[in-house]
Amino acid sequence: MFRSYLTTAIRNLSKRKGYTFLNVLGLAIGMACCTVIALFVVDELSYDRYHRNSGEIYRLIDGQSAETAPALMWALKKDYPEVREYVRLRPPAGVWMMRYGDKVFFEHRVFWTDASLFRVFSFVLAQGSPETALVAPKTVVITQTVARRYFGSEDPMGKTIVADDGFADLTVTGVMEDIPANTHFQGDFFVSMSTQEAVWQDGRVGSWSDSQYHSYVLLEPGVSVSDLVAKLPDFIEKYVPAVKRTWRGPFDLDLQAVTDIHLYSDLEDELGPNGDMDYLFTMGGIGLFALLVACINFVNLSTARAVDRGREVGMRKVLGANWSQLGSQFLGESVMLAFLAMILSFLISGISLTWFGSLTGKVLSFDVLFSPYGLVCVLGSALLVGVLSGTYPAIVLASMRPVSVLSGGNTGTGNSLLRRGLVIVQFGVSVLLLIGTGITFRQLNFLQERHLGFDKENVITSPMGTVSGLEEGVQIFTDRIRNHPGVVSMSRSMSMPGRSGGQGILGSSPTTVKKLDMVPVDLERLWVDFDYLETLGLELIAGRDFVY
């Protein structure tokens, strides 16, 4: 029986190639849209969940800032047995100039960190010991990509990288696999925290006021996070004198699940751009609406085709076929078309991923779809779409009256009101999708073309250090650049617009001033040279430019 149904289905579909192509293509486009968006949503939901203890890792935050004072961690670990381990990350304040032999690189993703980095996070060390790699001063763990870029085929272990032109000679004590893209921070260099103590010797690692550290705790299994948070005010009162709390400002500490950071956190001083759960709901809705339109189109085409198959249905009923057999036949054809559409949708999705990736800044792949769980979801979705899309047409076709069909009368192709309703729904959803697409396009165009307050076209930036005598040659360099016939203007600044200032050591800090009404206002300061306004095309609203 199944073989007969399959043979009949293939014969009917091949006989009406135009109909088959349109139906499969329409459904495939809807599936492809839904698949690409599903890959994006799954990727967003997967952030930081690959860590072995992701459910017990929390970030300590202070009010609306993701950064905290470094001394908090050791005291928290000492007083509360709920804290199994902690790690601190101090992000880069600017650009680090790294040198190995005659190779010079400028690096942005350099972190100071504790030796416990690999005990809290599940980063994999390809070389070196996770227990000792970041214990000694002036040691660094690098990623495999950095190792290939700096050392080629050489063994990087034990090699020395000169950081910031002599600020510190860092010995490579570990090579780690590249951090997965679905992590809320990305790093290439992890310098031991003990290096700060050895180089600066100013006690800042034990400070209660130098809030430039991202602090993470690994809790014991089963610990009540809310109970631990409730103890934090007493903890601050114990360790921080009232006078320092007044000067530093209130400590409003809380714990944030590491798996919530990417989609639910919108704090100051984040380690990278985060996503938004509302955005995911919107994207998911667009994908489902696109699939809904494709399914409705499938239903309408299948129902409209019922007239052509009236005689077939009539003959089958005359020869003894019952309603359930006919329904199974036509429903099977719908499922077959759905699986053909699924195969075609993979091809369309593969072509679309590059464009979608450039739009979202992500590198998406089909790997998750070919996992056991992914295959079950894909095959189940295709089956569900085929059944839902084919149920009504199958009912309509199987319900035709043989006498009317064979005599050339009314085929009885079902409730016309329902078909009209489906067309109206399809049209309405299509209009909503077009409006949403137009709004999204205009928003993206606005982001890309909006004037940022300075001219970025034809402007070249180059990082320059200020240590180990490099400053002595800066004036010669700038004079030569200014005298070049292709250079209109040149200036120097502590950092590029939109980035925190600093070298590899310290960044700029906000300066608090008071207006005439004595209301404090925080302003970011930036050290700049002459001709800065002219070089970046900044408009001066009041006052005058610097003069030589």
- Report whether pLDDT(132) > 70: yes
In a domain, 464, yes or no: no
Whether the per-residue pLDDT at 520 is higher than 70: the answer is no
Closest CA to 508 of 520, 523, 486, 530: 523
Instruction: Report the distance separating Cα 55 and Cα 222, nearest Å.
Output: 10
**Phi and psi, residue 202, nearest 5°:** -120, 5
- Is residue 467 a contact partner of residue 503, using CB atoms and an 8 Å limit? yes
Same domain, 71 and 33: no
**What CA–CA distance (Å, rounded) separates 27 from 55?**
39
Which of 42-46, 140-144, 220-224 is the most confident on average? Answer: 140-144
* 506 pLDDT tier (thresholds 50, 70, 90): very low
Most confident of 27-41, 131-145, 468-482: 131-145
Q: Are residues 73 and 173 in the same domain?
A: yes
**Which amino acid is it at 161?**
I
Identify whether residues 290 and 244 lie together within a single domain: no
Instruction: Give which of 336, 286, 333 is closest to 439, Cα–Cα.
Output: 286
Q: How is 4-42 classified by DSSP, letter by letter?
A: HHHHHHHHHHHHTHHHHHHHHHHHHHHHHHHHHHHHHHH
CA atoms within 13 A on the CB side of 28: 21
Assess whether pLDDT exceeds 50 at residue 502.
no
Rounded distance between C-alpha atoms, residue 147 and residue 161, angstroms: 11
Please give the Cα distance from 234 to 82 (Å, whole number).
16
Q: How far is CA 414 from the centre of its chain?
A: 47
Q: What is the pLDDT of residue 12?
A: 64
pLDDT at 40 over 70: yes
Grade residue 186 by pLDDT with cuts at 50, 70 and 90: very high
Structural domains of the chain, count: 3
Unique residue bearing structure tokens 């980035």:
499
Pairing of strands 125-127, 168-176: antiparallel
- The answer to whether 123 touches 180, Cβ cutoff 8 Å, is no
For 79: left if phi > 0, alpha if psi spans -120 to 50, otherwise beta; the answer is: alpha
Across the strands, what pairs with 85? 218
Would the CA dihedral through 30, 33, 36, 37 be positive or negative? Answer: negative
Q: Give yes or no: residues 43 and 68 share one domain.
A: no
pLDDT at 528: 83
* Residue in 540, 14, 31, 99 with CA at minimum distance from that of residue 298: 31
Q: Is residue 259 part of a domain?
A: no
In a domain, 265, yes or no: no
Read off the pLDDT band of 361 (50, 70, 90): confident
Q: How many helices (H) and strands (E) does the chain have?
A: 18, 14
For residues 209 and 246, the answer to whether their CB atoms sit within 8 Å is no
pTM of the full predicted structure? 0.76
Average pLDDT over every residue of 228-242: 83
Q: What is the 3-state secondary structure (H, E, C) of 472-511?
A: HHHHHHHHHHHCCCCCCCCCCECCCCCCCCCCCCCCCCEE
Do the beta carbons of residue 529 and residue 493 sit within 8 Å?
yes
Residue 523 has a pLDDT of 62
211 neighbors 507 (Cβ within 8 angstroms)? no
Judge if 149 and 203 occupy the same domain: yes
Rounded to the nearest 5°, which phi and psi values hold at 158? 85, -5
191-200 mean pLDDT: 82
Residues 25 and 87 in one domain: no
Predicted pLDDT of residue 468: 44
Question: Which residue has better confidence, 369 or 426?
Answer: 369
Residues 392 and 443 in one domain: yes
- Angle between helix 323-360 and 2-15 (nearest 10): 60
Phi, psi of 115 (to 5 degrees): -65, -15
Is 60 exceeded by the pLDDT of residue 515? no
* pLDDT of 187 higher than 90: yes
Whether 546 is in a domain gets the answer: no
Asked whether the predicted pLDDT for residue 117 surpasses 90, the reply is: yes
Q: Give the lowest-confidence range in 98-112, 238-252, 358-372, 386-400.
A: 238-252
Among 84, 85, 195, 183, which Cα is nearest to 143's? 183
**Angstrom distance (rounded) from CA 24 to CA 19:** 8
Torsion angles phi and psi, residue 397, rounded to 5:
-65, -40
Domain assignment of residue 54, yes or no: no
Q: Does a structural domain hold residue 266?
A: no
pLDDT of residue 530: 85
> Is the distance from CB of 389 to CB of 339 less than 8 angstroms?
no
Same domain, 36 and 102: no
pLDDT at 103 > cutoff 80: yes
Q: pLDDT: is 137 or 279 the higher one? A: 137
What pLDDT does residue 262 have?
93
Please, what is the average pLDDT of the chain? 79
For residue 524, give its domain range.
470-536
244 shares its domain with 98: yes
State how far the Cα of 414 lies from the Cα of 391, in Å rounded to an integer.
Answer: 13
What's the pLDDT band for 466 if we cut at 50, 70, 90?
very low
pLDDT score recorded for residue 172: 95
Q: What is the pLDDT of residues 12-37, one digit of tens each?
A: 666 667 777 877 888 888 888 888 88
Residue 427, pLDDT > 90, answer no
For the CA atoms of the chain, what is the radius of gyration? 32
Kindly tell me if the per-residue pLDDT of 54 is higher than 80: yes
Question: If pLDDT is split at 50, 70 and 90, which confidence band does 47 have?
Answer: very high
Q: Are residues 27 and 74 in the same domain?
A: no
508 phi and psi angles, rounded to 5 deg:
-75, 160
Q: Are residues 293 and 399 in the same domain?
A: yes
Do residues 443 and 435 lie in contact, with contact meaning Cβ atoms separated by under 8 Å?
no
Confidence of residue 486 (pLDDT cuts 50, 70, 90): confident
Range with the lowest mean pLDDT among 276-290, 376-390, 456-470? 456-470
Instruction: Please check whether residue 455 lies inside any domain of the structure.
Output: no
SS3 at position 400: coil
Same domain, 92 and 208: yes
User: How confident is residue 248, by pLDDT bands cut at 50, 70 and 90?
Assistant: low
Task: Say if 548 falls within a structural domain.
Answer: no
pLDDT at 314: 62
Tokens of 422: 């489906």
Report the distance separating Cα 20 and Cα 13, nearest Å: 6
Q: Which of 449, 483, 512 is the last residue of a domain?
A: 449
In terms of Cα–Cα distance, which of 73, 46, 80, 42 is closest to 59? 73
DSSP letter at 472 equals G
Which range of 299-303, 433-437, 525-529 scores highest in mean pLDDT? It is 525-529
Q: Give yes or no for residue 497 having a pLDDT over 80.
A: no
